[in-house]
C-alpha cells in the first residue's frame, strides 16, 4: 500500500518544494494580510504532509522509506535521491512544526517588508528540509549552501541589533569556510568510490549516493582525512566549540524567527549522525578522533554553561546555552553506543522544542520591553503570570527536569557516556548542574522578586497568538517527557542499524584488506 | 612543409560559417555605407541575424558531427572547435544586443561598431580552429585588431583612450613574445602543427619557446602575472566591449591553450603541471584579494575575471579528459553569469551614468528585476548551488582531486570564501542600503532579453546540467587519446576533406 502510494505520489518532493513554490507565488501577492495568511496556509499544509509521513512511517525499521530517486547529472554520478529513515523523519516534522510557529510569531512582530520576510522564511524551510531529506551528498550540499542566502537576508534586513551587518557576514563566511572543506571530503568519497568501482566491476562510475557509498570500503587513512574535512563543515555549522563564535552574534542580531530556526534545528550534529559516522565508521571510532571530539564536546559543555552564567542579555545566554547543549549532543554521539546515539538524536529533537521555545520567550520579552537585557526586567511574574509560567516550563525542559523531554535525552546521553568512559560522563554531569544554575538564576532575577524599575506598568500578558505558540510547545515538551516511546520507536531501527554497522565494520574492513593483500 | 592549395568544394564546406560571416560582415558595412540615415539599431539586428544564421550552421555541424582539416592541418574543424565557435558567437550575439543603447554614447562611427564586433568574432572563430602556430598567430592578431579599436571607441573619454593605449602597447608586446616563441619552437623542431610536435624532445630552446607562447596566451586570458592591462582596460573601455573582452577572447585563447598543452605537450605533463599550478594559485588569490578593495563594479568584475581564469586553469592543470570537459563546462557557466552581470551594469549605467559600486545602493527597490538578476549572476560566479557556477566549480574540483592536486584545490576552495565576501558587498549595496534616488529604473526590451538569456542559462545549467555535460564530454572526445601518460596519437576521424 505504502509503496504504491509513494510510487504515484512523490510526497517527499512535495514537502521539499511546496515552501519554495509558495514563496514564488507570494511574489505576486500585494496585500500584506493575504501574504501572512497564505504563508500560514502553506506552512500548515507542509506540517500536514510531514505529519502524514510521520504517521505512515514504519517504526522499528532501518529501511529508507518513501524513497525517490532520479538521475540528475549522470556524468558526475549525482542523483536526486530523497528518503527518510528513523534518523531524519523526526527532523522533517520538527522543521514543519517550527516554521508554523515562526509564521504565527512573525504575524505582527515583522512590520516592514513582510512579503520578502515570508518568502525568505519559506525558502529557508525548503533548504532545511532539503538537508534532512537528501541522500545524495551533492544534493545535500546544494541545500546546505543555499540555506545561507535566505539566512543572510533575514539577519541583515530584519535583525534588531546595530551589529547585524557584521553578524550576517560573519555567519555566511564562517559557514562557507567550513562547507568548502566538507566539499573536498565529499569529492574524496566520490573518488574513492570511483577507484573501487573501477577495480571491482570495471564500470567507471561516479556516485555521491549515500547508500552506494556505504557499500564501498574506505582505507582507514583516507577515512580519517575525510572525517576531519567533513567535521569542519559540520562543526562550523553546528557550531561545535571552538567554531561557535558566529552563533552569539547571529542569534543576538538576527530576528527571533531566524534564531528559532538556527538554534532549534541542529543541522551540524545531524550531519555527523547522517553522514560522518555511518560513512566513516573506522575513523569515527579511532582513538584520536573520539578523544579530540569528545574533549571538544566536554569543553563546549563547560565553556558554554560558564559563559551563559555571566550573560546579562537573554539571547546571548541562550546562544551560549546552545553551545553547551551541542556539547552534550556531540559527547553522546561519540560515545558510539546505542544509548548515546539515541539520546543525542532525541536531544537534537528536544532542543528544537526547548531552545526554540526559549527564543520565542525571548521574543515575547523583546516585544514588551524592546530589549532582552536583564536590566529591563525583574519581578515580572506578577504582571505577566502566563508568560512566566510558560517561561518556567520551557526553561525546565531545557535544563532537563524529569517529566520534561530534556530529561529523557540528557539521561540517555549520560548513560551512554558513562558506559563508554566513566570520566566523560562525570564531566558531562557538571554541565547539567551549571545548566540548572544559569537558567534558574536568570529566571529568578527577571521574573521573581520585586518589580524592576524599568518594567512598564502597562505590560500585557500573552496574546492569543503567543498562547498558541507557548501551549503547543509545552504540549510537545510534556508529551516527549512523559511518553517518549513513540518517538524512540521511530528512531530505534535506524539507530540499531548504525550501532551494528559501527561494531561489525572492523571485521569487514579486515576482510577487505585480506582480499586486497592477495 | 608543402603549401599546395588544393581545395575542393566539400573542403570549403568546413569553412562555411567563416565564409558566410565574412560575407555578412561586408553586407553590414555596405548597408551602413549606402544608407547612412538608417537607424543604427537596424544594423545591430542585421548583425545579430547573421550571427544567428552562423550559429544555426554550427549547430547543424555539431549534430551531424562534421569534422576535418584544411590547408595542411592549419585549420581543423572538430567538435571542440565547434563548441568554441558556438561559445564565441553566442557571446557576440548577446554583446551586440546589450550594446544597442550604449552605442548612442559614441560620437562617431556608430555603424562600424557592429562591424568591428563581428570582425573580432570572426578572428576568434579562426582561433578556435587554429591547429598550428602560424594560424594561431594570424588569427590572434586578427581578432585583437578589432579589439584595439573597440576599447578606445569613446573618443572623448580620457579613460577609454588610456585603456586603448595600454591594451595596444601590451598587446603588441605580447604579439612580439608570441612571434619570438614561434621562431624558437620552429627552430628546434622544424614543425608548426601541434600534433607533429608531440614527439619532440624537450630542448632548452623549445621550453623557452613554449614559455613565451604561454605568456602571450596568458595575456589574452588575463592570468597573473600577465594581467596588468586588465583592470584599466576593463574600466576604461565601453562597457559592452568590456563584457565582450571578458568572455569571448578568453574562450578562444583557452581553445588554443587546450590544443597546445594536451595535443602538443601532453607528454610533458609532469613538467608543465607546476607552471599551471603556480599560475592558477596566483591568479585566483591575487584576483580575489584585490577585488575586495575595488570601488568600481567594472574593476571588480575585472579582478573577479582574473580569479575565474585561475579556476579554469585548475582544470587545465588536471590535464585529463575530465579536466578538459570541466573547462568547457565552466566556460559555459561563466559566459551566462558574466554576460548577465555586465548587462545589468550596462542597464544601470544607462540610467545613472556611473559604474561605482555605491551607485547600486537600493537597487533592490529601484528595480527588483535588475537587482535579483545581479544577485543570481554574482552567486553563480561565486559558485553557490544550484546555479551553473557551482556545478562548474564542482566539475573542475573533482577532475583535479582525481589527479591528486590537493594544494590547488585547497587554495581554490579558500578563494571561494574570499570571493563570496566581495560579491556580498555588492549584494549588500543592492538590498540593504536605502537608495538615495528612489526613482525606478526602466530597461528596454533587448536588454531584458540579454538578462533573461543569462538567467535562463545560469539556472538551467545549474538545475539540469545533463545535456550540457553530455555536450562538453562529446566536444573533447578527441583528447581521450592524448591524456594517458604514454600518449599515442591517432588523427581525428575525417568525414569531409583531405
pLDDT 10s digits, A255-275: 888 888 888 888 889 999 999
- Cβ within 8 Å of B, A 132-151: 138, 141-143, 145-146, 148-149
Residues of chain A in contact with residue B400, where contact means CB-CB under 8 angstroms, are: none
Residue B127 has pLDDT above 90, yes or no: yes
Would you say A40 and A465 are in contact if contact means Cβ atoms under 8 Å apart?
no
pLDDT of B486 > 50? The answer is: no
Q: What is the per-residue pLDDT for B482?
A: 58
pLDDT at B8 over 80: no
Question: How many CA within 13 A on the CB side of residue A501?
Answer: 23
B231 part of a folded domain: no
pLDDT in tens, A474-511: 999 999 888 888 888 888 888 888 888 888 755 444 44
Per residue in A172-189, pLDDT (tens digit) is: 888 888 888 898 888 888
pLDDT band at B492 (very low <50, low <70, confident <90, very high): very low
CB-nearest partner of A188 from B401, B421, B473:
B401
State yes or no: pLDDT of A245 exceeds 70.
Answer: yes
Contacts of A206 in chain B (CB under 8 A): 398
Q: Yes or no: say if B90 and B55 are a contact pair by the CB < 8 Å rule.
A: yes
Mean pLDDT of B239-244: 93
Question: Is B44 within the bounds of a domain?
Answer: no
Q: How many CB atoms lie within 10 A of CB A49?
A: 18
DSSP string, A393-432: HHHHHHHT-BTBHHHHHHHHHHHHHHHH-HHHHHHHHHHH
Q: Which three cell numbers stand for residue A156?
A: 541583515
Average pLDDT of B213-233?
A: 90
Distance CA A315, CA A259 (A): 9
Average pLDDT for chain B = 87
Nearest of B249, B25, B390 to residue A144 by alpha carbon: B390
- Per-residue pLDDT at A75: 79
Per-domain residue ranges for chain A? 289-483
A191 contact residues in B (CB cutoff 8 A): 398, 401-402
Nearest CB neighbour to B397, from listed A149, A153, A187: A187
Three cell numbers written together for A362: 525571548
CA distances from A365 to A360, A362, A371 (A): 9, 5, 7
Judged against a pLDDT cut of 90, whether residue B309 lies above it is answered with yes
pLDDT of residue B489: 36
A190 vs B contacts (CB less than 8 Å)? 398
Name the residue in chain A with its Cα closest to that of B407: A184
Question: What is the least distance, in Å, from the CA of A153 to any CA of chain B?
Answer: 8
The answer, yes or no, to whether residue B446 has pLDDT greater than 90, is: no
Domain span holding position B462: 268-486
B181-192 confidence digits (pLDDT tens) = 999 988 888 888
> pLDDT digits over B321-333, tens only?
888 999 999 999 9
Q: How much is the pLDDT for A110? A: 81
B497 has a pLDDT exceeding 50:
no
User: In 3-state terms, what secondary structure has residue A6?
Assistant: helix
Residues B37-54: pLDDT tens digits? 888 888 889 999 999 999
Q: Which of A10, A147, A135 shows the shortest CA–CA distance to A80?
A: A135
The pTM for the full model equals: 0.84
- Hey, which residues 169-188 in chain A have their CB within 8 Å of chain B? 169, 172-173, 176-177, 180-181, 183-184, 187-188
Residue B261: DSSP 8-state: I
- How many whole angstroms separate alpha carbon A499 and alpha carbon A278? 9
| Residue range B237-248: mean pLDDT, rounded | 92
Domain assignment of residue B463, yes or no: yes
Q: For residue A266, what pLDDT is reported?
A: 87
3 state SS of B15: coil
Interface subset of A 58-87, CB within 8 angstroms of B: 71-76
Residue B160 lies in a domain: no
Whether residue B416 lies inside any domain: the answer is: yes
**Under a CB-based contact definition with an 8 Å cutoff, are residues B120 and B147 in contact?**
yes
In the DSSP assignment, the letter for residue A455 is S
pLDDT, position A516: 40
What pLDDT is stored for residue B488 in this prediction? Answer: 33
Greatest mean pLDDT range, A188-192, B58-62, B189-193: B58-62
Backbone φ and ψ of B69, nearest 5°: -125, 160
CA A447-A448-A450 angle, 5° bins: 110
Domain count, chain B: 1
DSSP-based three-state secondary structure for A74: helix
Q: Is the pLDDT of residue A102 over 60?
A: yes
Q: Which residues contact A139 (CB under 8 A, 6 or more apart)?
A: A72, A78, A79, A80, A81, A82, A130, A208
A-B CB pairs within 8 A amount to: 80
Amino acid at each position: 500500500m505504502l509503496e504504491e502510494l509513494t510510487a504515484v505520489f512523490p510526497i517527499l518532493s512535495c514537502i521539499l518544494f511546496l515552501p519554495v513554490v509558495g514563496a514564488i507565488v507570494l511574489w505576486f501577492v500585494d496585500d500584506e494580510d493575504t501574504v501572512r495568511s497564505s504563508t500560514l496556509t502553506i506552512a500548515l499544509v507542509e506540517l500536514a504532509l510531514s505529519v502524514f509521513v510521520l504517521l505512515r512511517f514504519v517504526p522499528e525499521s532501518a529501511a529508507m522509506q518513501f524513497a525517490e530517486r532520479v538521475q540528475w547529472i549522470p556524468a558526475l554520478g549525482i542523483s536526486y535521491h530523497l528518503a527518510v529513515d528513523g534518523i531524519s523523519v523526526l527532523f522533517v516534522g520538527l522543521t514543519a512544526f517550527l516554521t508554523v510557529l515562526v509564521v504565527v510569531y512573525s504575524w505582527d512582530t515583522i512590520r516592514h517588508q513582510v512579503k520578502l520576510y515570508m518568502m525568505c522564511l519559506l525558502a529557508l524551510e525548503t533548504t532545511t528540509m532539503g538537508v534532512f531529506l537528501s541522500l545524495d551528498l551533492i544534493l545535500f550540499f546544494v541545500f546546505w549552501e543555499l540555506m545561507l542566502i535566505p539566512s543572510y537576508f533575514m539577519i541583515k534586513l530584519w535583525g534588531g541589533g546595530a551589529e547585524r551587518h557584521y553578524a550576517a557576514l560573519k555567519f555566511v563566511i564562517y559557514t562557507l569556510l567550513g562547507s568548502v572543506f566538507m566539499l573536498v571530503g565529499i569529492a574524496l568519497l566520490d573518488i574513492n568510490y570511483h577507484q573501487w568501482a573501477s577495480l571491482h566491476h570495471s564500470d567507471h562510475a561516479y556516485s555521491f549516493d549515500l547508500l552506494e557509498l556505504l557499500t564501498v570500503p574506505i582505507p582507514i587513512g583516507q577515512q580519517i582525512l575525510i572525517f576531519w574535512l567533513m567535521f569542519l563543515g559540520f562543526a562550523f555549522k553546528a557550531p561545535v566549540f571552538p567554531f561557535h563564535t558566529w552563533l552569539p552574534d547571529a542569534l543576538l542580531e538576527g530576528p527571533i524567527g531566524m534564531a528559532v530556526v538556527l538554534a532549534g534545528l541542529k543541522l551540524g550534529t545531524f550531519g555527523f549522525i547522517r553522514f560522518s559516522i555511518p560513512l566513516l565508521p573506522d575513523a569515527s571510532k579511532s582513538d584520536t578522533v573520539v578523544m579530540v571530539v569528545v574533549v571538544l564536546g566536554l569543553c563546549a559543555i563547560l565553556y558554554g554553561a560558564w559563559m551563559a552564567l555571566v550573560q546579562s542579555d537573554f539571547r546571548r545566554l541562550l546562544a551560549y546555552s546552545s553551545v553547551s547543549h551541542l556539547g552534550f549532543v556531540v559527547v553522546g554521539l561519540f560515545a558510539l553506543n546505542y544509548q548515546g546515539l539515541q539520546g543525542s538524536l532525541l536531544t537534537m529533537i528536544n532542543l528544537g522544542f526547548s531552545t526554540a521555545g526559549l527564543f520565542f520567550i525571548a521574543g515575547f520579552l523583546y516585544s514588551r520591553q524592546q530589549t532582552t537585557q536583564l536590566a529591563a526586567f525583574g519581578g515580572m511574574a506578577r504582571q505577566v503570570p502566563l508568560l512566566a509560567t510558560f517561561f518556567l516550563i520551557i526553561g525546565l525542559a531545557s535544563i532537563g527536569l524529569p517529566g520534561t523531554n530534556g530529561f529523557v535525552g540528557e539521561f540517555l546521553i549520560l548513560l551512554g557516556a558513562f558506559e563508554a568512559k566513566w570520566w566523560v560522563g562525570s564531566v558531562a554531569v557538571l554541565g547539567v548542574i551549571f545548566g540548572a544554575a544559569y537558567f534558574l538564576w536568570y529566571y529568578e532575577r527577571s521574573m521573581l522578586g520585586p518589580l524592576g524599575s524599568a518594567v512598564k506598568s502597562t505590560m500585557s500578558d500573552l496574546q492569543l497568538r503567543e498562547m498558541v505558540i507557548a501551549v503547543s510547545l509545552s504540549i510537545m515538551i510534556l508529551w516527549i517527557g512523559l511518553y517518549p516511546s513513540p518517538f524512540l520507536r521511530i528512531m530505534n531501527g535506524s539507530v540499531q542499524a548504525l550501532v551494528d554497522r559501527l561494531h561489525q565494520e572492523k571485521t569487514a574492513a579486515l576482510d577487505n584488506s585480506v582480499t586486497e593483500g592477495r | 612543409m608543402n603549401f599546395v592549395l588544393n581545395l575542393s568544394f566539400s573542403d570549403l564546406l568546413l569553412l562555411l560559417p567563416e565564409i558566410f560571416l565574412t560575407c555578412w560582415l561586408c553586407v553590414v558595412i555596405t548597408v551602413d555605407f549606402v544608407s547612412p540615415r538608417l537607424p543604427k539599431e537596424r544594423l545591430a539586428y542585421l548583425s545579430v541575424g547573421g550571427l544567428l544564421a552562423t550559429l544555426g550552421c554550427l549547430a547543424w555541424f555539431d549534430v551531424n558531427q562534421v569534422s576535418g582539416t584544411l590547408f595542411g592541418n592549419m585549420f581543423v574543424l572538430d567538435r571542440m572547435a565547434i563548441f568554441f565557435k558556438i561559445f564565441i558567437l553566442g557571446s557576440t550575439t548577446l554583446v551586440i544586443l546589450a550594446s544597442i543603447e550604449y552605442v548612442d554614447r559614441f560620437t562617431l562611427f556608430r555603424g562600424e561598431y557592429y562591424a568591428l564586433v563581428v570582425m573580432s568574432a570572426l578572428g576568434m572563430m579562426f582561433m578556435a580552429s587554429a591547429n598550428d602556430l602560424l594560424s594561431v598567430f594570424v588569427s590572434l592578431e586578427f581578432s585583437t585588431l578589432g579589439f584595439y579599436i573597440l576599447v578606445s571607441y569613446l573618443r572623448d573619454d580620457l579613460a577609454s583612450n588610456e585603456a586603448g593605449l595600454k591594451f595596444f602597447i601590451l598587446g603588441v608586446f605580447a604579439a612580439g613574445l608570441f612571434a619570438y616563441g614561434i621562431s624558437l619552437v620552429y627552430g628546434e623542431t622544424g614543425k608548426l602543427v601541434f600534433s607533429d610536435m608531440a614527439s619532440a624532445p624537450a630542448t632548452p630552446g623549445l621550453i623557452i619557446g613554449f614559455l613565451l607562447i604561454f605568456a602571450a596566451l596568458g595575456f589574452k586570458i588575463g592570468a597573473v602575472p600577465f594581467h596588468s592591462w586588465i583592470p584599466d582596460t576593463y574600466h576604461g573601455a565601453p562597457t559592452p566591449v568590456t563584457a565582450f573582452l571578458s568572455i569571448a577572447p578568453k574562450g578562444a585563447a583557452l581553445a588554443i591553450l587546450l590544443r597546445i598543452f594536451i595535443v602538443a605537450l601532453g607528454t610533458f605533463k609532469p613538467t608543465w603541471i607546476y607552471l599551471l599550478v603556480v599560475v592558477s594559485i596566483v591568479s585566483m588569490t591575487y584576483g580575489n584579494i584585490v577585488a575586495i578593495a575595488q570601488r568600481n563594479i567594472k574593476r571588480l568584475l575585472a579582478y573577479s575575471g582574473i580569479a575565474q581564469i585561475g579556476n579554469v586553469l585548475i582544470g587545465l592543470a588536471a590535464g585529463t579528459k575530465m579536466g578538459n570537459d570541466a573547462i568547457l563546462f565552466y566556460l559555459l557557466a561563466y559566459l551566462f553569469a558574466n554576460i548577465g552581470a555586465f548587462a545589468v551594469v550596462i542597464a544601470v549605467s544607462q540610467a545613472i551614468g556611473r559604474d561605482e559600486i555605491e551607485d547600486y545602493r537600493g537597487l533592490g527597490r529601484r528595480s527588483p528585476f535588475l537587482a535579483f538578476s545581479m544577485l543570481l549572476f554574482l552567486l553563480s560566479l561565486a559558485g553557490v548551488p544550484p546555479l551553473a557556477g557551482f556545478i562548474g566549480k564542482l566539475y573542475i574540483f573533482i577532475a583535479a582531486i582525481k589527479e591528486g592536486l590537493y594544494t590547488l584545490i585547497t587554495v581554490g576552495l579558500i578563494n571561494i570564501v574570499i570571493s563570496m565576501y566581495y560579491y556580498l558587498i555588492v549584494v549588500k549595496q543592492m538590498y540593504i542600503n536605502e537608495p538615495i534616488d528612489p526613482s525606478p529604473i526602466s530597461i528596454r526590451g533587448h536588454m531584458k532579453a540579454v538578462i533573461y538569456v543569462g538567467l535562463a542559462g545560469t539556472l538551467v545549467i545549474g538545475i539540469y546540467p545533463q545535456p550540457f555535460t553530455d555536450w562538453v564530454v562529446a566536444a573533447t572526445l578527441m583528447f581521450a587519446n592524448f591524456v594517458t601518460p604514454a600518449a599515442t596519437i591517432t588523427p581525428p576521424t575525417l568525414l569531409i576533406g583531405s
